[in-house]
Structure 1
Amino acid sequence: MEKEIAENRHFIIKEENEVACTFALTFNDLIIWKEASKNPAVYLHRIATNPKFRGQSYVKKIVEWVKEYAKENGKKYIRLDTHSGNERINKYYTSCGFDYKGISTIEWKNELPKHYKEGSFSLFEIKL
């Protein structure tokens, strides 16, 4: 996270001086998106909403902001992924405008972050 903050890629949404939601952005995700990562895209990572603020459609608000951010940075897609097998979150992401693009599997290696250890990720994309 420190690197993301230093590179202005980590964002916080505040409500009345309280953190309501956080997320990070990157312009590449070769590990999960493989060949498709060659396309000009913005990747959303680690969206987390404070339980006190759930139900306020922060992902939809983030998507609207990221659409403009992506266009300003010459990107044609907004993408995100989540661990496979959670139908509830899959439906939520499609309700936020994402198209389900299938599943990506990776072989976990020690140098990868631990959250990649599951190895199977559902892919979602918005084409701008």
Structure 2
Amino acid sequence: MNTDTHAAGAHDHHHGDSHAHGTFSTYMLGFVLSVVLTAIPFWLVMSGALPSKQITALVIMAFAVVQIVVHMIYFLHMNTTSENGWSMMALIFTIVMVVIALSGSLWVMNHLNSNMMPIHQMTGMK
């Protein structure tokens, strides 16, 4: 058997990855940012540092959005240039689907709540 035949049948394991994956330092930076972005909201809830529950919930949601961005950049390596923009299109599609599902669920729950029979009318029904 010729060695050229074996070399001609070899597979290319690179699969066209032109963008760089993260280094150890970028993964560690992403990890540290994730820990900080988790610890701060935990402390806010446990200490009751903010005056109302609504403000606390809004601050926690803001931290969650920032943490999603950190995960997308440092762990998923998403940017507008990777895969000719298809990863960004998939992200936009996912966001649209999540917004539709969440808003639809909230609308249905609110509609069901407004159509529920008051508790004082249910006591006489037997």
Q: Say whether the fold is shared (TM-score over 0.5).
A: no
TM value normalised by structure 1 = 0.22
Q: Which structure has the greater CA radius of gyration?
A: 2
**Structure 1 or 2: more strand by fraction:** 1
**Structure 1 or 2: more helix by fraction:** 2
TM value normalised by structure 2 = 0.22
